[in-house]
Amino acid sequence: MQPQPETRPLVGILWMLSSGLTFVAVTGIVRYLGTDLPAAEGGLIRYAIGVLILSPAIVKTLRAGFAPGAMRLFVMRGGLHALAVMLWFYAMARIPIAEVTAIGYLNPVGVTIGAALFFGETLALRRILAVAVALIGALVILRPGLREVGAGQFAQLGAAMFFASSYLMAKRLSQIAQPGVIVAMMSLMVTIFLVPMAAPVWVPPTYAQVGWLGLVAVIATAGHYFMTRAFQAAPLTVTQPVTFLQLVWATLLGSLVFGEAVDPYVLIGGGMIIGAISYITWREARVGRIEITPPPQAAKL
């Protein structure tokens, strides 16, 4: 019997706090860049820089080849993730940072539903009720009929759906490819798919814009590294609730830096969603399920 890895809850919490702060920094930079660059172009520049950073791993991966059927999955995932990235960039420039963050919490809910529809995952009554609570939380955030729900909100809902689809493809790929290969190929494929999306709307970027998007690539990479360290140090049942603080940081950033009004409905709805996700995670850990529901950060840029 294999010994269980040592868990360090405090270390895991600190790594997850660091991860949340880095992802909030990413949203702040993209918010600062605004609408001067089309969403597809912003995403393309960010991922092209990421490809440069990962180029040694990408070359090594391409030379080594892939398992049968892997390339088709890489291409499908790249297309889904590219759509998610473009929609996220569009939403980030048009709606408050806290609202983007709160709606983004729906990503694990989409994975839970998709896992049941496509992978045969069982949706017990408790999980169905948790998903229902999360969806009600989304309605609290959006408040359709009580306020205008614009293109930015719809874009972020679409981004959450496509990020969830991308994660499901990654789960399937994890059975036939190493994690480093999956990350490298995602960056390459997303860049390729974003080229035809960005080309028709391309505007010459400034050196400052390219620099900021390069910083996004570096910070996002660091955020994923911090998240991985958190998962190594402590179980999801410990680190998952910490993700709610990302909504707090996003609210403070939007309010203090960008003058965005604090919307209590966004905080309440986001709390309902993350509470539902945390419950699903706790239940999966308790019954010894193989974890398929990701934390909200798992699909970030």
| pLDDT score, position 276 | 84
Per the CB < 8 A criterion, the answer to whether 222 and 22 are in contact is: yes
- Residue 174 CA, chain-centre distance (Å), reads 17
| pLDDT score, position 214 | 93
Strand, helix or coil for residue 162: helix
φ and ψ at residue 288, rounded to 5 degrees? 75, 30
Residue whose entry in the numeric block shows the structure tokens 């403070």: 252
Per the CB < 8 A criterion, the answer to whether 296 and 16 are in contact is: no
| pLDDT score, position 3 | 47
Query: In angstroms, rounded to a whole number, what is the distance separating the alpha carbons of residues 9 and 18?
Result: 14
The sign one gets for the Cα dihedral 133, 134, 135, 140 is positive
Which candidate, 173, 151, 172, 154, places its Cα nearest to that of 162? 154
pLDDT tens, residue order, the chain (301 aa): 444 556 777 888 888 888 889 988 998 999 999 889 999 999 999 999 989 988 888 888 888 877 888 889 999 999 999 999 999 999 988 888 889 888 888 887 887 787 777 766 677 777 788 888 888 988 989 888 777 888 989 999 999 999 888 888 887 887 888 877 888 888 899 999 999 999 999 999 999 999 999 999 899 888 878 877 887 777 766 776 777 788 888 889 999 998 888 888 888 988 888 888 877 777 666 665 544 455 555 555 6
Residue 147 DSSP code: B
Per the CB < 8 A criterion, the answer to whether 165 and 110 are in contact is: yes
DSSP 43-78: HHHHHHHHHHHHHHHHHHHHHH---TTHHHHHHHHH
